[in-house]
């Protein structure tokens, strides 16, 4: 009896160590019934079916991000419903009966639920019907970053397309004039740079990834200009909010310099950020065109 007990303990420890090595959680019996054995929780019993907090829904088994709260809607079916997924997060399999399409976590193959089309609940006409027990919610963690890289129209437009970015505001920073306006900044006399303030969900995207993207959507080797726009207001500069942002910015600049780039980007402690006039906000969205001097170039 003692030997059997010892072997059971050894097997349990081995299982836990294996799951940890695969970045998988040890599941409760109910979680295993749904996630591993492809079961279904009873409708209207899951903790996320009527959940409305902002954030990201991760896989309960491996913690991979799967859905964002902005894509969640009430289908009145009794289970959490999403009309979109994080790209690459979900894999589809046809059920054995050939009637429904199962969705699983692409990272660990854990069962999530099923996906349906043609129901017209939302404009995307798609419903991921997911078991709450398959999910782990991570609340939205709002942080901010400030970047200047030439005309703020293009920087704003390209950054706001990144998943995890909540908002991007065009404005002015780094000068001496109180309450600057576009006329003052564009004259180059106020000392401000055209910049953007990015509000992002740090549970979805890191400051490092945002800063990398910043260096890839403008040319950091140009001094006081960007494309045809010339002047100190068009300089390349990162305005950091804390020491961690400063360290990351300087580290990335160091990496680019080892690649042979003569980086002109300054790293400066953030001062007051002034929002630009309304007609500057979402400029390319309103015009329906693309940036003329900001093009993505992979650098990392």
Tokens 């007990």 found at? 5
Q: CA-to-CA distance for 199 and 249, rounded, in angstroms?
A: 17
pLDDT for res 14: 45
pLDDT digits 0-9 by tens, 9-65: 444 444 444 444 456 889 999 999 999 999 999 999 999 999 999 999 999 999 999
Asked if residue 8 is part of any domain, the answer here is: no
* Domain shared by 129 and 155, yes or no: no
Q: What's the number of domains the chain is made of?
A: 2
Size of the chain, expressed as the number of residues it contains: 300
Q: Is the pLDDT of residue 6 over 70?
A: no
293 catalytically annotated: no
Q: Are strands 135-139 and 142-149 parallel, antiparallel or unpaired?
A: unpaired
* Domain shared by 156 and 130, yes or no: no
Catalytic residue among 62, 105, 108, 129: 129
Q: CA-to-CA distance for 205 and 141, rounded, in angstroms?
A: 10
59 catalytically annotated: no
Asked if residue 20 is part of any domain, the answer here is: no
Residue ranges making up the domain that contains 220: 142-287
pLDDT digits 0-9 by tens, 73-117: 999 999 999 999 999 999 999 988 788 999 999 999 999 999 999
Measured CA to CA in angstroms, residue 126 lies from 116, 121, 184 at distances of: 6, 8, 49
Q: CA-to-CA distance for 169 and 275, rounded, in angstroms?
A: 7
Q: CA-to-CA distance for 25 and 200, rounded, in angstroms?
A: 28
* Domain shared by 151 and 275, yes or no: yes
Tell me which of 104, 139, 174 is where a domain ends.
139
Catalytic residue among 59, 62, 151, 293: 151
Measured CA to CA in angstroms, residue 137 lies from 24, 55, 129, 134 at distances of: 16, 7, 16, 10
pTM over 0.95: no
Q: Is the pLDDT of residue 5 over 50?
A: no
What is the per-residue burial (b if ≥16 Cβ within 10 Å, else e) of 236-257?
bbbbbeeeebbebbeebbeebe
Tell me which of 139, 168, 195 is where a domain ends.
139
CATH code for position 153: 3.30.1060.10
CATH code for position 56: 2.170.150.20
pLDDT for res 111: 98
Measured CA to CA in angstroms, residue 100 lies from 40, 96, 157, 263, 284 at distances of: 14, 8, 39, 54, 41
Q: Do 168 and 196 touch, CB atoms closer than 8 A?
A: yes
* Domain shared by 196 and 77, yes or no: no
What share of the chain has pLDDT > 70, as a percent?
A: 92
Asked if residue 24 is part of any domain, the answer here is: no
Cβ neighbours, 10 Å, residue 212: 18
Tell me which of 112, 139, 166 is where a domain ends.
139
pLDDT digits 0-9 by tens, 192-227: 999 999 999 998 899 999 999 999 999 999 999 999
* Domain shared by 270 and 176, yes or no: yes
């Amino acid at each position: 009896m003692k030997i059997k007990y010892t072997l059971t303990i050894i097997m349990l420890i081995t299982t836990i160590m294996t799951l940890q090595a695969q970045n998988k959680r040890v599941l409760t019996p109910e979680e295993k019934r749904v996630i591993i054995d492809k079961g279904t929780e009873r409708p209207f019993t899951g903790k996320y079916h009527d959940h409305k907090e902002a954030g990201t829904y991760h896989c309960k088994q491996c913690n991979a991000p799967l859905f964002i709260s902005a894509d969640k809607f009430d289908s009145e079916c009794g289970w959490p419903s999403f009309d979109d997924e994080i790209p690459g997060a979900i894999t589809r399999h046809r059920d054995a009966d050939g009637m429904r399409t199962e969705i699983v976590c692409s990272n660990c193959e854990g069962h999530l639920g099923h996906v349906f089309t043609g129901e017209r609940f939302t404009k995307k006409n798609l419903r991921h019907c997911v078991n709450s027990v398959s999910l782990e919610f991570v609340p939205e963690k709002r942080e901010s970053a400030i970047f200047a890289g030439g005309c703020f129209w293009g920087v704003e437009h390209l950054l706001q397309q990144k998943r995890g970015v909540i908002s991007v505001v065009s404005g002015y920073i780094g000068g001496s004039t109180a309450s600057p306006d576009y006329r003052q900044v564009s004259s180059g006399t106020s000392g401000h740079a055209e910049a953007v303030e990015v509000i992002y969900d740090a549970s979805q995207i890191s400051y490092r990834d945002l800063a990398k993207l910043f260096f890839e959507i403008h040319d950091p080797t140009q001094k006081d200009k960007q494309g045809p726009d010339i002047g100190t207001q068009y300089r390349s500069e990162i305005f950091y909010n804390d020491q961690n942002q400063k360290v990351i910015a300087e580290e990335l600049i160091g990496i680019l310099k080892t690649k042979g780039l003569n980086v002109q980007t300054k790293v400066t402690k953030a001062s007051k950020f002034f929002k630009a006039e309304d007609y500057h906000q979402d400029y390319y969205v309103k015009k329906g065109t693309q940036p003329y001097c900001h093009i993505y170039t992979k650098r990392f």
